[in-house]
Amino acid sequence: MGCFTFVKMMMVLFNLLIFLGGLTLLAMGIWVSVDGGSFLKLLGPFSSQGMQFVNVGFFCIAIGAALVLLGLLGCCGAQKESKCLLLTFFSIVLIIFIAEVAAGVVALAYSSFAEGILKAWATPALQKDYGRDPVVTKIWNTAMTELKCCGFTNYTDFEGSWFEKENGFLPPSCCWANISPCSLMEAKRSAVQGCFQDILDNLKEHANIVGGIASGIGGLEIAAMAVSIYLYCHLDARVS
The matching CATH number, chosen from 1.10.1450.10, 3.40.50.300, 3.30.2420.10, 3.30.470.30, for 111-239 is: 1.10.1450.10
Q: Are 207 and 199 in contact (CB under 8 A)?
A: no
How far apart CA 233 and CA 30 sit, in angstroms, is 39
Q: Of 83, 60, 105, 75, nearest to 13 (Cα)?
A: 75
Q: Which residues pair with 170 in a beta bridge?
A: 182
Pairs from 82-85 (Cβ < 8 Å, separation ≥ 24) = 83/232, 83/235
- State yes or no: pLDDT of 74 exceeds 50: yes
pLDDT tens digits, 185-226: 888 888 888 888 787 777 777 767 767 777 877 888 888 888
The residue extents of the domains of the chain are 1-80, 111-239
pLDDT tens digits, 90-135: 898 898 889 878 877 777 776 666 667 777 778 888 888 898 888 8
pLDDT band at 11 (very low <50, low <70, confident <90, very high): confident
- State yes or no: pLDDT of 59 exceeds 80: no
How far apart CA 131 and CA 45 sit, in angstroms, is 18
- State yes or no: pLDDT of 230 exceeds 70: yes
Q: Of 54, 66, 73, 86, nearest to 26 (Cα)?
A: 66
pLDDT band at 162 (very low <50, low <70, confident <90, very high): very high
What is the predicted pLDDT for the residue at 217?
Answer: 78
Q: Are 144 and 171 in contact (CB under 8 A)?
A: yes
